[in-house]
């Protein structure tokens, strides 16, 4: 049997061969003309993927948490009111980060498997002036998606900046930053954007850049400070050499490769592919009598699915059997229910073939562990749903 395993976790994901080839190119100088062109082009392509022709893109060596950190460190000053809308682990992480910069945070935490109702958000905004609010588009810990559009509209109505953690959504879920008037949309390379881990990516609105420019205090984090990075991003986009910290050359060459693949597929088509695959996958999971973590399919992400283990099934044994079938899945992440569920990533270049492999391995593993099921049912359901979508 082929040794290569399918990496079906919610990041890092499966990457295109061209992207991996780009990772392995002989590294060039960070101020070489060909690399300046690649960096500049990447910044331009980000605008296309984010649908933010007016946004200011940032590409910085680091993780998705650094991207969150940059948003918080640059926008927040001591005592600023910030509303954190959370549907999982990463919502709460944003609170931790904001608190570090002296924010006076209010956490609106959805009950497990749910989202925070719009009325509750509006009620908060109505009764207190918030400088900013944060939304986790897709919380990787729960597989829950939040519709950012009406929240961004509320933010606008109440003169509040909106920050979208798009780590598990950008280039996979529907996003229209400028039209929806989201002020920051951030992500990390190893998710739907399709590049190995190591890059923090942000797109910042003109309004948010102005808020940053009008800060009264220095950003209390040197590496995250846009003062250091903005001239560099501008220089690369104008195809001029510039230096602050050495850019992660190979990762950026891989980023340009992936962004070109994304734009060639077309962002609308890519999002539709995520939606139809995720829908078919959820139907297949349901046909096995398994329950997903989001309470309704309307709030289930299209980039990953979080599924409860059936009663009596040991999670470690299931994962191990999946690995024997060359499929790697992720365990739970939400501390309080960590051992009760698993997660399948299906974003980026994901294909029906990949998801059939997952379902096949899952059926065999469950069956071998004594779980009653109709063998082949999930595969059949998946196929039918997919055909219906076309």
Cβ 147 to its own copies shortest distance, Å: 26
Cβ 383 to its own copies shortest distance, Å: 27
List, as one string, the DSSP characters of 27-90.
PPPTTSHHHHHHHHHHHHHHHHHHT-TT-EEEEEES-HHHHHHHHHHHH--TT-EEEEEESSHH
Binding site for its own copies (CB under 8 A): 4-5, 7, 9, 11-15, 20-21, 23-30, 32, 61-66, 69, 72-73, 96-97, 100-101, 188, 190, 196-198, 218-225, 243-251, 328, 330, 333
Q: 162 pairs with which residues across the strands?
A: 133
Query: Long-range CB contacts (< 8 A, 24+ apart) of 27-30?
Result: 27/249, 27/250, 28/249, 30/243, 30/246, 30/247, 30/249
Instruction: Enumerate the known binding-site residues for substrate.
Output: 343
* d(C-alpha 197, C-alpha 348), whole Å: 14
Q: What are the distances in angstroms from CA 329 to CA 156, 197, 198, 276, 362?
A: 39, 17, 21, 20, 10
Between 60 and 267, whose beta carbon lies closer to its own copies? Answer: 60
CB 54: neighbour CB atoms within 10 A?
Answer: 12
Cβ 56 to its own copies shortest distance, Å: 20
Cβ 101 to its own copies shortest distance, Å: 8
Q: Find the Cα–Cα–Cα–Cα dihedral 41, 47, 50, 55, rounded to 10°.
A: 140
Between 4 and 264, whose beta carbon lies closer to its own copies? Answer: 4
Nearest Cα residue to 196 out of 345, 68, 20: 20
Q: Are 270 and 171 in contact (CB under 8 A)?
A: yes
Cβ 352 to its own copies shortest distance, Å: 20
Q: Find the Cα–Cα–Cα–Cα dihedral 101, 106, 110, 112, rounded to 10°.
A: 60
Between 160 and 319, whose beta carbon lies closer to its own copies? Answer: 319
Between 49 and 98, whose beta carbon lies closer to its own copies? Answer: 98
For the chain, report the end-to-end CA distance as a whole number of angstroms. 33
Cβ 70 to its own copies shortest distance, Å: 8
Q: What are the distances in angstroms from CA 218 to CA 77, 105, 184?
A: 9, 20, 20
Q: What are the distances in angstroms from CA 229 to CA 57, 232, 233?
A: 10, 5, 6
Cβ 62 to its own copies shortest distance, Å: 5
Greatest Cα-to-Cα distance within the chain, rounded to the nearest angstrom = 64
Between 36 and 280, whose beta carbon lies closer to its own copies? Answer: 36
- Read off φ and ψ for residue 172, nearest 5 degrees: -130, -40
Between 150 and 245, whose beta carbon lies closer to its own copies? Answer: 245
Cβ 339 to its own copies shortest distance, Å: 14
């Amino acid at each position: 049997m082929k040794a290569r395993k399918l990496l079906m976790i919610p990041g890092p994901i499966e990457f295109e061969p061209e992207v991996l080839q780009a990772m392995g190119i002989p590294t060039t100088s960070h101020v070489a003309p060909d690399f300046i062109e690649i960096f500049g082009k990447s910044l331009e392509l980000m605008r296309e993927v984010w649908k933010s022709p007016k946004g200011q893109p940032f590409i910085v060596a680091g993780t998705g948490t650094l991207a969150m950190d940059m948003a918080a460190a640059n926008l927040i000053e001591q005592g600023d009111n910030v509303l954190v809308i959370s549907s999982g682990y990463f919502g709460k992480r944003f609170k931790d980060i904001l608190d570090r910069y002296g924010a006076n945070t209010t956490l609106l935490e959805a009950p497990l498997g749910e989202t925070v109702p719009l009325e509750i958000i509006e009620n908060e905004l109505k009764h207190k002036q918030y400088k900013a609010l944060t939304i986790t588009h897709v919380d990787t810990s729960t597989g829950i998606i939040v519709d950012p559009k009406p929240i961004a509209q509320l933010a606008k109505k109440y003169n509040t900046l909106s920050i979208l953690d798009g780590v598990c959504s950008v280039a996979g879920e529907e996003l229209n930053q400028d039209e929806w008037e989201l002020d920051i949309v951030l992500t990390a390379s190893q998710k739907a954007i399709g590049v190995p881990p190591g890059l923090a990516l942000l797109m910042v609105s003109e309004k948010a850049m102005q808020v940053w420019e009008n800060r009264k205090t220095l950003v209390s984090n040197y590496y995250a400070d846009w003062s250091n990075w903005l001239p560099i991003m501008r220089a690369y986009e104008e195809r001029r050499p510039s230096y602050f910290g050495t850019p992660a050359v190979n990762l950026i060459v891989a980023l340009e490769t992936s962004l070109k693949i994304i734009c060639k597929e077309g962002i609308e088509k890519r999002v539709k592919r995520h939606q139809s695959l995720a829908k078919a996958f959820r139907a297949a999971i349901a046909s096995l009598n398994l329950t997903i973590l989001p309470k309704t399919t309307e709030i289930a992400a299209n980039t990953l699915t979080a599924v409860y283990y059936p009663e009596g099934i040991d999670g470690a044994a299931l994962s191990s059997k999946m690995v024997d079938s060359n499929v790697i899945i992720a365990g739970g992440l939400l501390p309080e229910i960590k051992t009760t569920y698993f997660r399948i990533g299906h974003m980026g270049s994901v294909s029906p073939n990949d998801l059939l492999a997952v379902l096949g391995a899952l059926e065999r593993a469950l069956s071998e562990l004594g779980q009653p099921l109709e063998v082949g049912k999930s595969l059949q359901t998946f196929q039918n749903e997919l055909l219906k979508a076309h």
